Amino acid sequence: MNHLSDYLESPIRSGIFTGISEEMRPKIFSAGQRRFVKAGTTLFHEADAARQCYFVQKGRLKLTKQHIEGKEAIVRYINPGEMTAAVAVFKENTYPVTASAVEDTTVVGWDRPTILKILSDYPSLTINLLSGALDRLEEMQKRYLELCAERVEQRIARALLRIMRRSGRKTHEGVVIDFRLSRQDLADYTGATLYTVSRILSAWEKKGWISSGREKIMVNDPHALVAFADNG
Amino acid sequence: MNHLSDYLESPIRSGIFTGISEEMRPKIFSAGQRRFVKAGTTLFHEADAARQCYFVQKGRLKLTKQHIEGKEAIVRYINPGEMTAAVAVFKENTYPVTASAVEDTTVVGWDRPTILKILSDYPSLTINLLSGALDRLEEMQKRYLELCAERVEQRIARALLRIMRRSGRKTHEGVVIDFRLSRQDLADYTGATLYTVSRILSAWEKKGWISSGREKIMVNDPHALVAFADNG
DNA sequence: TTAGTTCTTTGCGCTGGCGCAACCAAGGGG
DNA sequence: CCCCTTGGTTGCGCCAGCGCAAAGAACTAA
């Protein structure tokens, strides 16, 4: 028998601080600057000089990449406990994406010299950072393959499952996505259009796989979605 | 005036050994195992246990990811002087892609304990590895965006330019891609089909932008391709 | 040289999913 | 409470690009 929680990632997973004792962590945080990012506002812009990297304490960030005519693609969501913009540390470079807050968010930011000092004090952090980068690379490659090979319906199923696993909250009726997620967001995440996403979600709602409202999606039958994603 | 060589990357670029003196390099190589991979054969398979990471000395590798029914997507080409399968070092994991030799290739492979020892002896190697992973992540994100937002013709133009920049050789008539590259390969790289690629290359050949033969492509007018890729 | 294999080209019909338009529903502020 | 904004739904027509089929071109082995 499958349980809903089988479909969720354990919360402490990305483990940027794996191998670093609890007592050291406040020390690391206090070397950076805490910053509050209001829902809907931007933490950093694509193509701006990358000065700081960030750790999300509370809330949620959305990484997007712009293309012609106001359209954008969602690269990934950053959950509490994760880092982003490692590029600021290792390259004298610009941010490759824009980070904006999906909900009210608190981050800790470190500038280049500070984080380099920390990394040399705690070598396992560098390894964890690299490990995280490799994870994201692999995920991106998977999504690229999906975009090449699968049709919209399957991609949306996978996207929903992926987001649910990382940001879902279990309730008595199903797993609810724990932040505002519009049809347009899902479209930007999967490379589809608002219209197509809406049509497909409607169909799934009729089948009882999900239930949805305005910027709200709950997955009632994850197993059906998995089966659908896997065999078409 | 634009010169053809403006469109090519400098050969020593990826710089995995940046910051490591020339004298040390043979030492590092001799700790690994040299291995010859005949053109068309496979160095490692997707989903196999990742035991070694590799440095390409001569030749060229093709990284692919399989999907249903014998179809595959090309993730990237690995040129001489580059490393691949860093995942073998930092994760007890399986290879996320298949690596096969496009032409006769020589690699040096290190297993986990060996490369970890080397990395602790030469800390800048870890940084270089991470820097490379971030580059690849960024490239993947770009290609993902292209796949979402652009139509096939533009994607093929960009793909051709990208491959040309990294693996092109300048001749008196244009830049020739320095390895066997079929229409199918380009299709697998761009998420298009063999037929569409063939039609588009034919059209470009009539315009004089490229000249092509069996598994051979030469770019005669890179600037025209860039312009086409950028404005549609 | 011939036969076989592999790669390429091109015609043609079909369709997934895009995108406009028009309408409906849910918040939210005053 | 009403108005206004923002998000969601659905009908409909259209077309980029897929994919079959069939023929041609180039390389390979014997």
Find, in chain B, the residue whose alpha carbon is nearest to that of A85: B134
Q: Which of B144, B71, B133, B61 is nearest to B98 (CA)?
A: B61
A212 touches A218 (CB < 8 A): yes
Position B90 confidence tier, pLDDT thresholds 50, 70, 90: confident
Residue type, B6: D
Q: Is the pLDDT of residue B210 over 60?
A: yes
Position B2 confidence tier, pLDDT thresholds 50, 70, 90: low
Determine the Cα–Cα distance for residues A156 and B148; give it in Å rounded to an integer.
14
Classify domain A151-231 by CATH architecture.
Orthogonal Bundle (1.10)
Give A163 CA → C8 C1' in Å.
Answer: 43
pLDDT at A1 (0 to 100):
45
B18-145 against B151-231: fold identical: no
Contacts of B121 in chain A (CB under 8 A): none
Find, in chain B, the residue whose alpha carbon is nearest to that of A67: B149
Q: Using CB atoms, pick whichever of B96, B130, B144 lies closest to residue A138.
A: B96
pLDDT at B124 (0 to 100):
86
pLDDT, chain A, mean = 92
Give B192 CA → C18 C1' in Å.
Answer: 18
Please indicate whether, in this complex, the C-beta atoms of A97 and B141 are within 8 angstroms of each other: yes
* Domain boundaries B18-145, corresponding CATH code: 2.60.120.10
Is the four-CA dihedral A154, A160, A162, A165 of positive or negative sign?
negative
Q: Within chain A, where are the H helices?
A: 24-30, 87-90, 112-121, 123-149, 152-167, 183-190, 194-207, 222-231
Give A214 CA → D2 C1' in Å.
Answer: 22
Q: Where is average pLDDT lowest: A129-133, B7-11, B184-188?
A: B7-11
Chain B nearest-CA distance from A177, in A, is 24
Position B4 confidence tier, pLDDT thresholds 50, 70, 90: low
pLDDT at B1 (0 to 100):
46
CB-contacts to strand D (7 A): A 182-184, 194-195, 198-199, 201-202, 205, 212, 214-215; B 151-153, 191-193, 195-196, 213-214
Give the residues across from A169 on adjacent strands.
A176
CA B224 to centroid of chain Cα atoms? 23
pLDDT at B167 (0 to 100):
96
Q: Is the pLDDT of residue B12 over 70?
A: no
pLDDT at B232 (0 to 100):
66
Q: Using CB atoms, pick whichever of A65, A96, A149 lies closest to residue B68.
A: A149
The DSSP letter of residue B6 is G
Give A184 CA → C30 C1' in Å.
Answer: 29
Three-state secondary structure readout of B201-212? HHHHHHHCCEEE
pLDDT at A152 (0 to 100):
97
Determine the Cα–Cα distance for residues B149 and A73; give it in Å rounded to an integer.
8
Contacts of B65 in chain A (CB under 8 A): 141-142, 145
The DSSP letter of residue B49 is B
Find, in chain B, the residue whose alpha carbon is nearest to that of A189: B148
pLDDT tens digits for A152-187?
Answer: 999 999 999 999 999 999 999 999 999 999 999 999
Strand C within 7 A of A153 CB: yes
Determine the Cα–Cα distance for residues B178 and B170; give it in Å rounded to an integer.
9
* Count of CB pairs separated by less than 8 Å, A with B: 98
pLDDT, chain B, mean = 93
CATH superfamily of A14-146: Jelly Rolls (2.60.120.10)
Interface of chain A against chain B, CB under 8 Å?
65, 67-68, 71, 73, 75, 86-87, 90-91, 96-97, 126-127, 129-131, 133-134, 136-138, 140-145, 147-150, 191
Q: How far is CA B174 from CA B169, B171, B217, B225, in A?
A: 8, 5, 10, 13
Task: Give kind and range of the element (H or E) at residue B185.
Answer: helix B183-190
Which residues in 146-205 of chain B line strand C, with CB less than 7 A from it?
182-184, 194-195, 198-199, 201-202, 205
What does the domain layout of chain B look like in residue ranges?
Answer: 18-145, 151-231
Chain A nearest-CA distance from B129, in A, is 8
Which residues in 71-110 of chain B line strand C, with CB less than 7 A from it?
none
Q: Is the pLDDT of residue A69 over 80?
A: no
- Give the closest residue to D7 (Cα–C1′): A214
The DSSP letter of residue A18 is T
Determine the Cα–Cα distance for residues A190 and A193; give it in Å rounded to an integer.
9
Which residues in 156-215 of chain A line strand C, with CB less than 7 A from it?
191-193, 195-196, 213-214
Percentage with pLDDT > 70 across chain B: 93
A136-164 exposure pattern, b = at least 16 Cβ within 10 A, e = fewer: bbbebbebbbbbbbbebbbbbbbbbbbbb
pLDDT at B51 (0 to 100):
95
